[in-house]
Amino acid sequence: MTTGGILATDDATAAFTAAVDALGELNPVRLTDAQLTQALREIESDKRRLATVEHRLIIEIEQRNIPEKVGAKTTARYLGEVLRLSNADACARVNAAKVLSPRQVSGEVLEPLLPCTAAGQAAGQISADHASRIAKIVHRIPASVPVAQKESAEAQLAEYARTGWPDDLPKLGDRILGFLDPDGVLVDDKDRQRMRELTIGKQRVDGMSPIRGELTPELRALLDPVLAKLARPGVCNPEDAESPWAGEDSVSSEVLEACAKRDTRSAGQRNHDALVALLRPEMGPANLGQHRGLPVSTIVTMTVAELEAAAGVVTTASGGRISVPQALKLAEQSIPWLAVFNQKGMPLHLGRGTRLANAAQRLALIASERGCTRPGCDAPATLCQVHHVTEWAAGGPTDIENLTLACDTCHARVHDGPGGWKTVKLGQNSPWPGRTGWIAPAHIDPSGTPRVNHRHHAKEMLDNSAA
């Protein structure tokens, strides 16, 4: 948009263009660390608010039948031609406008289909990614569900999105859909089997072959622990002669750490190399050994109530979701463990006289914590190690009350130096007794308030949003 354009005759548009020009000349080198972060936040908020203006413009274009007037088949095709957008981007913008912009029906202006989400975006708190995921969740709600319950579900999702992460919305959506459909109609294994697909395309001239597909929860649950072991940084790296191809069992921790530091592969490349290792003649699923002290296997946690009902959705140690009937089918040839927890979901005492936690303690932590406990981290349990809240060297026991899960990155952040995090176990007066509280360094949180990670507990995130 240029200042000489037709729209620039409007004072607001001209002022916006001038402001963007001024920001374009901004020299970020002169900003302090705090100013850099604040500038990013303010620009992101304004971009989100600006999207609401775009929504109204797109709806007006549709209502005037402008695409039809110029011979474009659809509004998305029109936007693609006018704004030089990809088909996916154009379709996404049109779909967003349809649910987030006020509608005009028979001369009457109606509120957006997702009113709470639209309000959050207008306030600069909800991104297009948030809104897209909320729309997909709401779209999955059956038509038979009462309108009031649909509106309540959208309001809960939008309220969380104002302060939470887009990646967590599908987990909240699954839990909300479980409440709306307690009999498990939405968890239809026949539909999943119908959608399952794994297609390998034709081999190109360069020798590469494209792959695409849809994995059932069962296959995902079986594949995740394999990738957690063989796709770990430093493992199965064809570019490193010292990299182990059988996982971390065959080398010392020092060698594995050195290999990980040299590993420049992306996550996708590590997944590819992990499958190569798994399919090598000398490897195979039977020779996977252990990963972080446990056999490489699918670990599913369910309550006695879920077991008796044989319905609902449970979570795997890798963060995946699988229906209880599917989990029970996988469990027919498994090794069952029974763990007893208190009313707050924390395991009862399980002690050990050595520094390293044993398999039973790790399983108890997987069942109760489900992943890294540092606030904001979404690393699942399969990517975590057991951390002493009070360090072993400082007299901290290897008892379940003093143990927690922390991924490699977050574990390295716990130290006494500048910028170090600290961990504590919260007392009985806390809203989360027995949970691990993380104290951020002063430059992040000067108050030093211990905070709990709720990202692995969908119910807690919903409860916090409702509160």
For residue 373, which amino acid is it? T
pLDDT, average across residues 33-57: 91
Q: Across 2-6, 81-85, 339-343, which has the greatest mean pLDDT?
A: 81-85
Q: What angle do CA 256, 261, 264 make, to 5 degrees?
A: 115
Write down the pTM of the prediction. Answer: 0.55
Q: What is the reported pLDDT for 128?
A: 92
pLDDT at 341 over 50: yes
The DSSP 8-state label assigned to residue 198 in this structure reads: E
Long-range contacts of 283-287 (CB under 8 A, 24+ apart): 283/245, 283/246, 285/226, 287/246
Report the half-sphere exposure of 209 (CA within 13 A, side-chain side): 8
The segment with the largest mean pLDDT, out of 186-190, 215-219, 355-359, 447-451, is 447-451
> Which pLDDT does position 344 carry in this prediction?
59
| pLDDT, position 54 | 94
- Least confident stretch, 75-84, 241-250, 254-263: 241-250
Q: Where are the domains of the chain?
A: 25-180, 212-291, 359-466
Backbone angles phi, psi at 86, to 5 degrees: -70, 160
Find the DSSP H helices in 234-293. Answer: 253-262, 267-279
| pLDDT bucket at 42, cuts 50 / 70 / 90 | very high
Does pLDDT of 349 surpass 50?
A: no
pLDDT of 46 > 70? The answer is yes
Average pLDDT value for residue range 82-94: 89
Residue 45: pLDDT above 90?
yes
Lowest mean pLDDT among 30-44, 110-124, 272-286, 328-342: 328-342
pLDDT at 28 over 70: yes
Q: Is the pLDDT of residue 156 over 90?
A: yes
- Per-residue b/e over 233-254, b at no fewer than 16 CB within 10 Å? bbbbbeebeebbbbbbeebeee
Per the prediction, the chain carries an average pLDDT of 79
Return d(Cα 87, Cα 128) in angstroms, integer. 17
Q: What is the per-residue pLDDT across 183-218, written as a single tens digit (0 to 9) for each?
A: 555 545 665 676 688 887 776 777 778 888 888 877
Res 304: pLDDT: 62
- Both tokens of 303, joined, read 């309550």
Contact 135, 114 (CB under 8 A): yes
12-16, 115-119, 371-375 — which is least confidently predicted?
A: 12-16
pLDDT of residue 223: 82
Predicted pLDDT at 296: 47
Write out the two tokens for 353: 């006289």
Average pLDDT over residues 94-109: 87
Please tell me the least confidently modeled range out of 261-270, 338-347, 373-382.
338-347
Rounded CA gap, 451 and 467, in Å? 17
